[in-house]
Copies of this chain bind each other. A is one copy, B any other.
Amino acid sequence: MADHRLRLEKMIETLRETGHRLTPQRLAVLKVLSLSEGHPSAEQVYEQVKDDFPTTSLATIYKTINLLKSVDQVLELGFAHASSRYDGNKPYPHPHVICTRCGRVVDPEHTAMRELSRDVAIDTGFRITHHRLDFYGLCPDCQEAD
């Protein structure tokens, strides 16, 4: 579906452009994040990276993910009572469908709200119960403080 190789190259290029080193551990993390169709947690990335790189630490996974976040090469889906899930394929805001039972995270094919919810249900087979829509930015006071 998505061109994973291109994503990986884009990540690597971005790290270079921003003056960061490409260590083997980092490369392994980039690969998992760029190749994964799913939305893995840091722990899941860790498990995969350990296969080829047994000495890797979870801390390094987090550090690499944070680095990628800082250069907008990975999207973090943060939750209050569960670990964050990461999307390295589409590192820009887009809708997600999240199973409240098993935690599965799916990207709906369609991407406009009453009808959108219905479309998402049809696309994904989920039984939609609720949603979350947040806008982020600078409040008036914080714009002044710039």
The answer for the CA separation of A102 and B129 in the assembled complex, in Å, is 31
Whether A76 is near chain B, meaning CB under 8 Å from some CB there, is: yes
Establish whether residues A134 and B95, one from each chain, have CB atoms under 8 Å apart when the complex forms: yes
Cβ-closest chain B residue relative to A143: B127
- B-facing mask of A104-146, CB < 8 A → 1, else 0? 1010100011101100110011111111111111111111010
Residues of B within 8 A of A141 (CB): 102, 104
Residue in A76, A104, A121, A139 with the greatest tally of chain B CB atoms within 10 Å:
A139
Establish whether residues A138 and B127, one from each chain, have CB atoms under 8 Å apart when the complex forms: yes
Beyond contacts A95-B134, A95-B135, A98-B137: 14 other A-B pairs, Cβ-Cβ < 8 A, are A93-B130, A93-B131, A93-B132, A97-B134, A99-B136, A100-B137, A100-B138, A102-B141, A117-B135, A124-B140, A128-B136, A130-B135, A130-B137, A132-B133
The answer for the CA separation of A117 and B76 in the assembled complex, in Å, is 21
Q: Known contacts A78-B79, A80-B76; is A129 also within 8 Å of B139 by CB?
A: no
The answer for the CA separation of A138 and B139 in the assembled complex, in Å, is 35
